[in-house]
Amino acid sequence: MTDSPLPDGAREPDASHNTSDSPVPAAFADGMAAAARRAGFTPAAEGESISGRAVLTAVGGIRGLFEAVLPGLVFLITYTFTRQLFPEQSLVLSLVVPVLIGAVFIVLRRVSRQTVTPAVGGLVALILSAVLALFTGRAEDFFLPGFWTNGLYGGALFISAVVGWPLIGLAVGFLMGDGIAWRLNPSRRRVLTVLTLCWAGLFGLRLAVQLPLYYSGNVEWLGAAKLLMGIPLYAPLLVISWLVVRAVYRTDDRGTDVAAARQPE
């Protein structure tokens, strides 16, 4: 990131964030910045123009998009078309195929010499989902890990905003080289808190829509809702977040510069 241009208001990470005397441990600062990158906030810090390509890159590119969507889509299609034809084998078939696809993703990444970590994480999640569904004999339990993830992320984001340490603010602050200085700026703190609540709302909305479908045993609609509330909701909120982060840093710093310029000599 040090070689990339930063937008107005963004600064290179302060050296004090990386010293043992800093109130913020370097490992924590680096971890929060890395979390922001994984979430797709890098273009906001590097000043990259908002485009379809930038959004696609932020969600993992074509490969990442397929890895995120295809297993769930295949599960839904397989279950829908086999539960009437092969009622006894339908669940097993519906669970085995996505797991095999997850394994194929790992092989493809290895062959193309790309990092296999995202694919391995996806395969582990698929195996856990499959084991849960096989153990209970309920196809809807395939979606349980997703509920846990949404609940954990949504709850953590909401609580962080309530206690005054919004996680989006922490992640973006260290990514932008601002550290925790944004907490001393009322405008930035307010905007980053609202942004954190918006992300918490995304995860909460998923649960509000999908949990009733889960408890009603409506696997087809549950699978469709999960797909439609995944990337199609994540990507637009990410773009809005880029714009908000850039605007609040640029506006606040320009406002400060203008105020300073008007001070009498």
> What pLDDT tens digit does each residue of the chain (265 aa) get?
334 344 444 444 443 344 334 567 788 888 888 888 878 887 766 666 777 777 887 777 888 888 899 999 999 999 999 988 877 788 999 999 999 999 999 999 989 888 888 889 999 999 999 999 999 999 999 999 999 999 999 999 999 999 999 999 999 999 888 889 999 999 899 999 999 999 999 999 999 999 999 999 999 999 999 999 999 999 999 989 988 888 888 755 544 433 333 344 4
User: Residues 38, 64: contact at Cβ < 8 Å?
Assistant: no
Query: Which positions ≥6 away from 14 have C-beta within 8 Å?
Result: 177, 179
What pLDDT, on a 0 to 100 scale, did the predictor assign at position 47? 67
CA distances from 141 to 11, 72, 134, 157 (A): 46, 13, 9, 25
User: Residues 234, 202: contact at Cβ < 8 Å?
Assistant: yes
CA distance 89 to 19: 59
User: Residues 216, 51: contact at Cβ < 8 Å?
Assistant: no
Q: Which helix (H) or strand (E) holds 21?
A: none
User: Residues 119, 161: contact at Cβ < 8 Å?
Assistant: no
What pLDDT, on a 0 to 100 scale, did the predictor assign at position 242? 87
What pLDDT, on a 0 to 100 scale, did the predictor assign at position 11? 42
What pLDDT, on a 0 to 100 scale, did the predictor assign at position 131? 95
- Residue from 117, 94, 121 nearest 223 by CA: 94
What pLDDT, on a 0 to 100 scale, did the predictor assign at position 69? 92
Using CA atoms of 9, 2, 48, 27 in order, give the dihedral in degrees to the nearest 10: -80
Q: Which residue type, as a one-letter code, is found at position 93?
A: L
What pLDDT, on a 0 to 100 scale, did the predictor assign at position 261? 35
Taking the model in full, what pTM does it have?
A: 0.81
What pLDDT, on a 0 to 100 scale, did the predictor assign at position 100? 95
- Residue from 38, 100, 112, 39 nearest 70 by CA: 100
What pLDDT, on a 0 to 100 scale, did the predictor assign at position 63? 85
User: Residues 250, 9: contact at Cβ < 8 Å?
Assistant: yes
What pLDDT, on a 0 to 100 scale, did the predictor assign at position 161? 96
CA distance 131 to 33: 34
